[in-house]
């Protein structure tokens, strides 16, 4: 509603208009006037008054038809209409109210009654405008809430997808590497490619005989303790865990994120694993289980990428280097870490090496020089 309230006075008798105008303006209202029905329609649509004082009996377009047209126009806001008529024209009052008029006054106009009705209609107008404003606010809030809900759904879906991606990546990558790939939003690092890696295979000595003579629950308990021991070490040394195969684990370095010293990292991890399993094995001995631990490490090129189908994928390495690591592990005795010549050369300044000469490894066409890692050099023990 305008401030001050805007009132349109419509009457074809100029004196009547001036009397009402003077009375309303003395009360502080803004007054607009029109001398016929057509002018009343035009002014109402352009000025949007808060109240109309509308004479019924006018030549041409009378007050009833003006009321009907204004009330039927959905583009106009609510404008209360007080119809003004002669005392004797009760039928005009009924027709005017039926056409949409909100109140009426009879001529000659009683100015006290005029002001009372004006104030009453303006209160109704103010309440109506307040309700409309609240409705618009509620609509806007509902629209905003719907937009926020859509945004929330989008964010939740994105977070669920991200959690799913992190979960899948953490199955075979260190947590910090998985988080880095997801944060970068670029999983192209995991697409099939060829890279020089250090592959480390390890397993338990005597596990097959243990599994044949023990209850399945005992075997599962030992495997759980074994994996629980080695898993955190793999993550700490930032190795990529390809898979568990019973008691066997294949871990590689320099993929999917490159590192400058894959062989050294693999050896450091193997030494840490050997120490951790040796400590765990003391508890197994007390339970009657005699299990050892051996490791094989090789370095060379492999093809890497996702392996699987549907929603079940692992990240794998295919190549002679992984086979060589597995063969070296198979030859290793309890506590041995057997490495290829290339790995031995890479870690010569880091680890104590015991040359074992050339060994004929199963599945390989010719013997290969092999070294055993007996420990880390004192200046290298603080490394990763």
All residues at 6 or more sequence positions from 233 whose CB lies less than 8 Å from its CB, including other chains: 269, 272, 273, 276
Q: Note the pLDDT of residue 205.
A: 94
Position 246 scores a pLDDT of 86
Q: Where are the alpha helices (DSSP H) in 76-198?
A: 90-98, 111-170, 175-184
Q: Pairing state of beta strands 81-86 and 103-107?
A: parallel
Residue 213 neighbours by CB under 8 Å, 6+ apart? none
The whole-number pLDDT of residue 364 equals 83
Which residues are CB-neighbours of 13 under 8 A, at least 6 positions away?
A: 55
The dihedral built from the CA positions of residue 8, 69, 80 and 55, taken in this order, carries a sign that is: positive
Tell me the β-bridge partners of 259: none
pLDDT of residue 316: 84
**Omega before residue 256 within 30° of 0, cis:** yes
Residues paired with 358 in a beta bridge:
369
Q: Which of 292, 273, 272, 271 is nearest to 281 (CA)?
A: 292
What is the spatial distance between Cα 334 and Cα 327, in angstroms, rounded to a whole number? 15
| pLDDT for 108 | 86
Q: What domains can you pick out in the chain, each with its CATH number?
A: 6-135 (3.40.50.2300), 191-380 (3.30.70.1230)
Starting at the edge strand that comes first in sequence, how are the strands of the sheet with 81-86 ordered? 30-34, 6-10, 51-55, 81-86, 103-107
Distance CA 48, CA 68 (A): 16
Which pLDDT value is given to residue 185? 65
- CA-based nearest residue to 192, from 343, 319, 325: 319
Strand pairing partners for 75? none
The confidence score (pLDDT) of residue 229 equals: 95
Q: Decide if 120 contacts 53 (C-beta within 8 A).
A: no
Burial 320-352 (b: 16+ CB within 10 A, else e): ebbbbbbbbbbbbebbbbbbbebbbebbeebbe
The residues of the chain scoring below 50 in pLDDT are none
């Amino acid at each position: 509603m305008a401030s001050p309230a805007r009132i349109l006075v419509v009457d074809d008798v100029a004196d009547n208009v001036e009397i009402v105008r003077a009375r309303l303006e003395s009360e502080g209202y803004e007054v607009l006037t029109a001398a016929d029905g057509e002018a009343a329609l035009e002014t109402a649509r352009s000025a949007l008054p808060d109240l109309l004082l509308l004479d019924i009996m006018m030549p041409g377009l009378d007050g009833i038809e003006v009321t009907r047209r204004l009330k039927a126009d959905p583009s106009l806001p609510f404008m209360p209409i007080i119809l003004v008529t002669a005392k004797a024209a009760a039928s005009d009052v009924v027709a005017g109210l039926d056409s949409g008029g909100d109140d009426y006054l009879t001529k000659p106009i009683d100015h006290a009654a005029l002001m009372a009705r004006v104030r009453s209609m303006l209160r109704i107008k103010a309440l109506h405008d307040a309700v409309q404003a609240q409705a618009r606010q509620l609509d806007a809030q509902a629209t905003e809430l719907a937009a926020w809900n859509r945004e929330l759904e989008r964010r939740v879906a994105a977070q669920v997808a991200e959690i799913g991606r992190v979960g899948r990546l953490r199955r075979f990558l260190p947590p910090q590497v998985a988080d880095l790939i997801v944060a970068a939003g670029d999983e192209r690092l995991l697409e099939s490619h060829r890279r020089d890696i250090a592959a480390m295979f390890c397993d338990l000595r005597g596990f097959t005989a243990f599994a044949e003579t023990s209850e399945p629950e005992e075997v599962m308990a030992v495997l759980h303790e074994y994996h629980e021991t080695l898993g955190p070490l793999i993550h700490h040394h930032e190795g990529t865990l390809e898979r568990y195969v019973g008691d066997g684990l294949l871990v590689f370095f320099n993929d999917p994120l490159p590192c400058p010293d894959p062989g050294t990292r693999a050896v450091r991890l193997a030494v840490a694993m050997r120490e951790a399993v040796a400590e765990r094995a003391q508890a197994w001995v007390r339970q009657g289980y005699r299990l050892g631990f051996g490791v094989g490490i090789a370095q060379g090129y492999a093809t890497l990428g996702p392996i699987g189908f549907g929603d079940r994928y692992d990240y794998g390495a295919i190549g002679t280097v992984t086979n060589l690591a597995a063969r070296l592990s198979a030859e290793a005795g309890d506590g041995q870490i057997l490495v290829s010549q290339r790995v031995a050369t890479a870690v010569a300044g880091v680890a104590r090496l015991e040359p074992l000469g050339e060994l004929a490894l199963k599945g390989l066409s010719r013997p290969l020089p092999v070294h055993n890692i007996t420990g880390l050099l004192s200046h290298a023990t603080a490394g990763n």
